[in-house]
Amino acid sequence: MATLLEVSGVSVTFDGFRAINNLSIQMGEPELRAVIGPNGAGKTTFMDIVTGKTKPDEGRVIWGDDNISLLGRNESQIARAGIGRKFQKPTVFEAQTVRENLQMAVKNPRGPFDVLFWRKSSGTEARILELAEEVGLLDHLDRPSGELSHGQKQWLEIGMLLAQDPRLLLVDEPAAGMTPQEREHTTDLLKRAAQTRAVMVVEHDMEFVRRLECKVTVLHEGSVLAEGSLDHVTSNPQVIEVYLGR
């Protein structure tokens, strides 16, 4: 497994408060990783750093085969480099059908410049069907997205991100608000997506994390507190004290 993302020695201070403190995390490709930790541990800020929304005060963020630094790049350049982000709330176009939403995502790969060079091709419909199948919405292609359940909207948005073929997909609390069946489908979907790319999932639901069957990174006060299998990190006394025991 080659290293795709290397965050090392990164710190961020907001108004004198050190939200990220000498944080180092590596992601391989392909890899599925869960990130857990108490409220305020720095999970969102970490994703903000990787996607270019927040610039760290110090440290390095190195990406891809050519070891480029992401620090000098803006959010859209980073998205074009192959980093997709799924926020907690689904943001699909509710008045458009599932097919139309996927169509827009397929036609709009990664950034504004790619659109200029996009050509309509018979490959588009095939790709839409492939994506709909991948996220389990093949039977819902012609429904307005606003009619979908919360879980289905989340899957549609994941499908729209997959349409852009990211090398790293960051997913923020996918299980929130989902039924048990939707959660199960979501774990399958993320595990499948992570067979060919890096997928990092921030999640509080430990049962969901267990089903992901992947390496887990525990953040606390802006640093890595523990890392390894879920059984390994959940038996760590410090993890129990700051997170699980609450």
Ligand X SMILES: Nc1ncnc2c1ncn2[C@@H]1O[C@H](COP(=O)(O)OP(=O)(O)OP(=O)(O)O)[C@@H](O)[C@H]1O
In terms of Cα–Cα distance, which of 28, 30, 23 is closest to 8?
Answer: 23
Of 16, 39, 112, 120, the one binding ligand X by CB under 6 A: 39
Which of 5, 25, 43, 224: binder of ligand X (CB under 6 A)?
A: 43
Q: Are 80 and 111 in contact (CB under 8 A)?
A: yes
Among 7, 23, 41, 199, binds ligand X (CB under 6 A): 41
Among the listed residues 40, 59, 111, 228, the single contact to ligand X using CB under 6 A = 40
3-class SS of residue 184: helix
Q: What angle do CA 148, 150, 151 make, to 5 degrees?
A: 95
How far apart CA 212 and CA 195 sit, in angstroms, is 12
Q: Which of 8, 14, 196, 213 binds ligand X (CB under 6 A)?
A: 14
Phi then psi for 8, rounded to 5 degrees?
A: -140, 135
List the one residue from 7, 19, 160, 200 that touches ligand X (CB under 6 A).
19
Of 7, 37, 86, 190, the one binding ligand X (CB under 6 A) is 37
Name the β-bridge partners of 228: 216
Question: Chain-centre distance of CA 128, in angstroms?
Answer: 21
Q: Which is nearer to ligand X, 90 or 136 (CB)?
A: 90
The rounded radius of gyration (Å) of the Cα atoms in the chain is: 18
Q: How far is the CB of 56 from ligand X (least distance, A)?
A: 13
Decide: is 156 part of the binding site for ligand X (CB under 6 A): no
Decide: is 36 part of the binding site for ligand X (CB under 6 A). Answer: no
Residue with token string 């903000």: 48
Per rule CB under 6 A, count of chain residues that contact ligand X? 12
Residue 76: CB atoms within 10 Å: 13
**In sequence order, what are the beta bridge partners of 220?**
223
Among residues 38 and 151, whose Cβ is nearest to ligand X?
A: 38
- As measured in angstroms, the least distance from the Cβ of 109 to ligand X is 29
Decide if residue 118 touches ligand X (CB under 6 A): no
Contact residues for ligand X, defined by CB under 6 A: 14-15, 17, 19, 37, 39-45
